[in-house]
Amino acid sequence: MINAVKQPQSVLLLGGTSEIGLAILAALPTERLSRVILAGRPGDRLEAAKAATQAAMPMSTVETASFVAEDFSGHEQALAEVFDGGDVDVAIVAFGVLGDQAAINDDPNLAVPVMLTNYVGAGSATLHLAALMGKQGHGSLIVLSSVAGDRARASNFVYGSSKAGLDSLCQGLGDSLVDTGIEVLVVRPGFVRTRMTEGLTEAPFSTTADEVAQDTVKAWRAGKPVAYSPPVLRAVMGTMKALPRPVFRKVSARG
Q: Which amino acid, residue 78? A: A
Q: Which pLDDT score, from 0 to 100, does residue 253 have?
A: 66
The answer to whether residue 4 is domain-embedded is: no
Distance CA 53, CA 116 (A): 29
* pLDDT, average across residues 136-152: 95
The answer to whether residue 3 is domain-embedded is: no
The answer to whether residue 24 is domain-embedded is: yes
The answer to whether residue 83 is domain-embedded is: yes
The answer to whether residue 117 is domain-embedded is: yes
Which residues form the catalytic set? 159
pLDDT category at 254 given cuts 50, 70, 90 is: low
Residue percentage of the chain with pLDDT more than 70: 99
The answer to whether residue 130 is domain-embedded is: yes
- Model confidence at 255: pLDDT above 60: no
pLDDT digits (tens, 9 = 90+) for 75-105: 999 999 999 999 999 999 999 999 999 999 9
Q: How many domains does the chain have?
A: 1
**Helix, strand, coil in percent for the chain, rounding step 5:** 50, 15, 35
**DSSP line for 150-207:** TS--TTSHHHHHHHHHHHHHHHHHHHHTTTTTEEEEEEEE-SEESGGGTTSPPPTT-E
Q: Which pLDDT score, from 0 to 100, does residue 84 have?
A: 96
Query: In the predicted model, what is the mean pLDDT of the chain?
Result: 94
Q: What's the pTM value of the predicted model, to 2 decimals?
A: 0.94
For residue 184, what is the domain's CATH number? Answer: 3.40.50.720
The answer to whether residue 106 is domain-embedded is: yes
The answer to whether residue 1 is domain-embedded is: no
Its domain, for residue 27, covers: 10-254
Distance CA 48, CA 86 (A): 24
